[in-house]
Structure 1
């Protein structure tokens, strides 16, 4: 098993000097991989591509994986309006007043089932 120390953040770049360059071997020193999360024999390969730590705006690395953050933030006024009008909180369609079934815990989308209304939940 390869460990993050060997392959780096991007998990595609091999960073260890002892990388076997063979799809059937994990490592030239530890053929089956190491036990645990670190390797005492790890040596940084001076010719390896540098580890990219660039983060686009609105993203960050968490546990070695790039996570994108939600793009839009609601203002306090928008949040209050959502609480006053969204069917998740009121149980009713904000456009036609259709009353939703009270199966709120299982519901993901809140589009109005009234064919004449057409209100669609764009908050998801």
Structure 2
């Protein structure tokens, strides 16, 4: 039976496992119903949002838990190989093909990028 999410909040909803509503007993054939009537007594749809998360296009997206201060961000720009092209520990130069690189681990001194 093709029931759409908004059926549960409609005045015409039958609350019956065999019928969807009085107007469309077998359900509607699309994503919307032209006969939808909001039930004022229906439970409101709660979009629970934990701290540090947001809804985008109906999907809950968790944000990174740690935020860098402005000073930490500036230090990262000054020292990270993605911006400098060099290892922050031994100053070894990385290959110039930066567009495909994900990890910035140094083969010279063993420094490992833990920001990813």
3-state SS of the aligned residue for 1:15?
A: helix
For 1:120 and 1:20, the matched residues in 2 are separated by 60
3-state SS of the aligned residue for 2:61?
A: strand
Structure 1 residue runs of 4 or more that deviate by more than 4 Å after TM superposition: 18-22, 43-46
The structure with more radius of gyration? 2
Aligned residues: 106
Spell out the pairing of 1:29-44 with structure 2 (5 A cutoff): 29-30=27-28, 33-34=29-30, 38-42=32-36
1:67-95 Cα offsets, whole Å, 9 max, x none, are: 11121211111111111110001111101
> What's the Cα RMSD here?
3.1
Deviation at 1:56? 0.4
Higher relative contact order (CA 8 A, sep 6+): 1
Partner of 2:8: 15
Q: Which runs of 5+ in 1 are unaligned?
A: 9-13
Spell out the pairing of 1:1-124 with structure 2 (5 A cutoff): 6-7=4-5, 15=8, 17=13, 28-30=26-28, 33-34=29-30, 38-42=32-36, 51-114=45-108, 117-124=109-116
Deviation at 1:18? 6.2
TM-score between the two structures when normalised by the length of structure 2: 0.71
